[in-house]
Amino acid sequence: MIHSTAIVDKAARLGVGVRIGPYAVVEADVTLGDGCELQPHAVVKQGSEIDADCLVGHFAVIGGDPQMNGFNHSLSTGVRIGKESLIREHVTVHRSAFEKKATLVGEKVMLMVGSHVGHDCVIGNQVTLANAALLAGHVHLADFVFVGGGAAFHQFVRVGESAMIGGRAEVSADVPPFLTVVDRNLTCGPNLVGLRRRELPNESISEIRSLYKKLFMGTESPTLLAARLLEEAADVKTPEGYRFLEFFADGKRGFVRSRTRSK
C-alpha cells in the first residue's frame, strides 16, 4: 500500500506487501524488501537496499551523503540494511564515501530515536543503539552489541561482540568482546548480563572473567599478554576465550582501560 502523498520513483524496486506512509520519499535505485514499512515522512535515498520486514520510522533518513568536506556527490555508493531491522524516528544512516561501497547494518538491528550511523560503518546482527547514540565514520560494531543512550564513538573504533556501552559514554579506543564500558574509555569488567542472556556456557563466562583479570588488572601490556596466551593455547579452553584474545591482534586506536586501575 502506497499513500497518495508519498513520492516513489518509478525506478525503485518494491517487494511484496510494502507499505509507504504519507509524505514518505523513495528515490531511484532503492530496494525495499517484502513486508517493509516506511512511516510518514521517512526518506530512503538513492542506492539504499533494505531487506524484508524492516520498519523505517517517521523522519528517518536512510542513505544521506557523508558529512565530510569535499565529498563527491556523484559517487555510486549506498546503504545495506538486513532483514527485520527497526529504524525509529529521526534516525540517520549515511551512505559510503567510496565508489561501489556501502554502509552496512545487519539483521534484527534496532536503531532507536535520533541515533546516527556514519558513513562506512559496519553494524553486526542483533545490535541495539539507544536514543541519540552517535557513530562516526568507519565504526565497527560486532553482533549483539548494546549501546546506551547518548554514547558517542570516534571514527574507526572497533567494538567486539556482546559488549555493552553505557549511556553517554565516550569511546575513542577499541572495546574488546564481552566487556562493559562506561565514561571515557573505561571498562568495568565483563558484560555478565548480556552473556547470560545469550545463554553462553558457564565455562565460557568463567574464562572471559579470568582473561579479563589477567589482561586488565595486571601491569603487562594487554596486547602482548593476549598474544602470548594465544601462543601457549593451553590456558584457553573456549571459543569465546579465543575470540576475546584474538581481538587484541588488530586495530589502530588502542584499547579501553580498567576503571578500577585508573582510579
Q: What is the DSSP string of the chain?
A: -B-TT-EE-TT-EE-TT-EE-TT-EE-TT-EE-TT-EE-TT-EE-TTEEE-TT-EE-TT-EEEEPPS-TT--TT---EEEE-TT-EE-TT-EEEPPSSTT-EEEE-TT-EE-TT-EE-TT-EE-TT-EE-TT-EE-TT-EE-TT-EE-TT-EE-TT-EE-TT-EE-TT-EE-SBB-TTEEEETBTEEEEE-HHHHHHTT--HHHHHHHHHHHHHHHSSSS-HHHHHHHHHHH-TT--SHHHHHHHHGGGS-SS-B-EEHHHH-
137 is catalytic: yes
53 is catalytic: no
120 is catalytic: yes
- Active-site annotation holder among 116, 119, 138, 140: 119
- Active-site annotation holder among 51, 53, 120, 174: 120
- Active-site annotation holder among 106, 137, 166, 194: 137
Residues with active-site annotation = 119-120, 137
